[in-house]
């Protein structure tokens, strides 16, 4: 019996309403020459695994890990690109109605996200999403990013649920779907809301 439903945040419940990829923009503007997939992991580990008090220091750390000289110009450039996108944080139309229905049906709701303290601050300013979540857990809370299994184990402990009572929903196969299955959790690859409803129905969850 499913008791806990965990959602990824970005591209599952929320998105940044800009017409470009911040990852691509950072690589293009800095001419770093790093493969996009590798850069994403560098960014996550540099910015999203610590409760940074200083945004400047966080992005200084990113510069170093990118192999860029951590000048004020480079740091400010990266910050501006990311800040512009994070200011445009929005929720998908399905997000609130879906979460409300699931709560009404008695499910506990979790959130697992590779996010920085700065992105979450914008999320709180722009939306009331966290008011709908029983167990929010961010990468800076645990010091690791998905797909590290510690992240999922921490959620189970926080929510006081067993793996087999849990569904993880996210848009990345390698980060959100395959890892939780390794510890006995169920998981669903999110592509769109209509497909998600059908997938959830297979587990007896109807929204």
Rg (CA), the chain: 17
Q: Is the dihedral of CA 136, 38, 84, 190 positive or negative?
A: negative
pTM: 0.95
Over the stretch 85-142, which tens digit does the pLDDT of each residue have? Answer: 999 999 999 999 999 999 999 999 999 999 999 999 999 999 999 999 999 999 999 9
pLDDT the model gives residue 19: 86
Contact 126, 24 (CB under 8 A): no
Over the stretch 163-184, which tens digit does the pLDDT of each residue have? Answer: 999 999 999 999 999 999 999 9
CA gap 67, 36 in Å, rounded? 15
Q: Is the dihedral of CA 8, 12, 13, 17 positive or negative?
A: positive
pLDDT the model gives residue 88: 95
Burial class, 4, CB count within 10 angstroms (exposed 0-12 / middle 13-18 / buried 19+)? buried
Tokens of 74: 């480079």
CATH 3.40.50.1000 fits 4-16+90-201, yes or no: yes
pLDDT the model gives residue 172: 97
What residues contact residue 129 under an 8 Å CB cut-off, 6+ apart? 13, 14, 91, 95, 111, 123
Check whether 39 has a pLDDT greater than 90. yes
Tokens of 78: 């990266």
CA gap 78, 58 in Å, rounded? 11
Over the stretch 12-25, which tens digit does the pLDDT of each residue have? Answer: 999 999 988 999 99
Check whether 188 has a pLDDT greater than 90. yes
Computed over every residue of the chain, the mean pLDDT equals 97
């Amino acid at each position: 019996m499913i008791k806990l439903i965990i959602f990824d945040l970005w591209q599952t419940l929320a998105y940044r309403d800009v017409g470009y990829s911040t990852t691509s923009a950072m690589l293009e503007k800095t001419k770093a020459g790093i493969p996009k997939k590798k850069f994403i992991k560098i960014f996550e580990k540099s910015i999203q695994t610590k409760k940074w008090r200083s945004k400047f220091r966080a992005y200084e750390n990113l510069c170093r890990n990118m192999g860029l000289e951590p000048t004020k110009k480079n740091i400010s450039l990266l910050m501006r690109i990311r800040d512009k996108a994070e200011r445009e944080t929005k929720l998908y139309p399905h997000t609130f109605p879906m979460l409300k229905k699931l709560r009404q049906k008695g499910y506990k709701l979790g959130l697992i996200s590779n996010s920085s303290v700065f992105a979450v601050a914008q999320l709180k300013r722009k939306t009331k999403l966290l008011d709908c979540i029983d167990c929010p857990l961010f990468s800076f809370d645990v010091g690791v990013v998905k797909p590290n299994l510690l992240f999922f184990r921490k959620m189970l402990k926080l929510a006081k649920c067993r793996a087999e009572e849990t569904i993880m929903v996210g848009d990345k196969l390698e980060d959100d779907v395959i890892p939780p299955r390794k510890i006995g959790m169920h998981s669903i690859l999110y592509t769109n809301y209509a497909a998600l409803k059908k997938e959830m129905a297979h587990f007896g969850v109807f929204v």
